[in-house]
Chain A
């Protein structure tokens, strides 16, 4: 158990819908990262938050957004869902983003868009 929690574990929804994925980082970790794992794209970095502020952006679609709240939990919002958004979405956390720091991953949310 990494200490990172993600809910829900599974999500099935329809095209055009909007969903919210939730992540609670390890106790004391200030940085939260979101990754998407799909069969065709592999594991891709989406976005990072550090202590409530956006720190880095990767290949995140405009239909996707995220935020980190004062209690440090984070939410990833996916809207106007398409079939291709079906993937495993991971949240990871690290203490403060210093060099050499390990990112610990949550169990993931498996999203299926029908």
Chain B
């Protein structure tokens, strides 16, 4: 089974509108971390936001917030007030387990989804 599922291959949004990018994950480990990265056409991977499985509140970083629904195993990224520069590929990733207790430090990535922001 896929660890990280991003089912939306592509999305279009109007500038200044909010958009939600979906991510579901699969793990039996109670300790894990979820990450979102942005990859513009230039190719670099840019860290956006992190959510730990034990975090009580949803993570926020500026215009980015993470809608974390643990029971549903979803970690959707919400971008408020989209900008043209938000057009890029977006990847959801997970790290499982507690480090030092058999957990892994590697990130497992979803296939990504392409966001296009229209003026």
Contact = CB atoms under 8 A, between A and B. Distances in A.
Contacts of A100: 33, 50, 52
Interface stretch (A14-22, A67-75, A102-110): A102-110
Interface of A: 2, 31, 33, 35, 42-45, 48, 55-56, 58, 88, 90, 92, 94, 97-108, 110
B105 interface: yes
Contacts of B105: 31, 33, 48, 55-56, 94, 97, 101
Given A42-B112, A99-B52, A108 B44 contact: yes
Interface of B: 31, 33, 35, 37, 42-47, 50, 52, 91, 93, 98-99, 103-112
A101 B33 CA distance: 9
Contacts, number: 65
12 contacts: A42-B111, A43-B91, A43-B112, A48-B106, A88-B43, A98-B99, A99-B31, A99-B52, A99-B103, A102-B47, A103-B47, A107-B43
B46 A2 contact: yes
A105 B37 contact: yes
In the A-B complex, the 3 residue pairs with the closest CB atoms: A105-B45, A43-B109, A45-B106
B109 A42 contact: yes
Given A33-B105, A102-B35, A2 B44 contact: yes
A58 B106 contact: yes
Contacts of A55: 105
A107 B40 CA distance: 11
Centre residue among A58, A99, A102, A104 by max chain B CB count within 10 A: A99
Contacts of A106: 44
A44 B104 CA distance: 14
Contacts of A104: 47
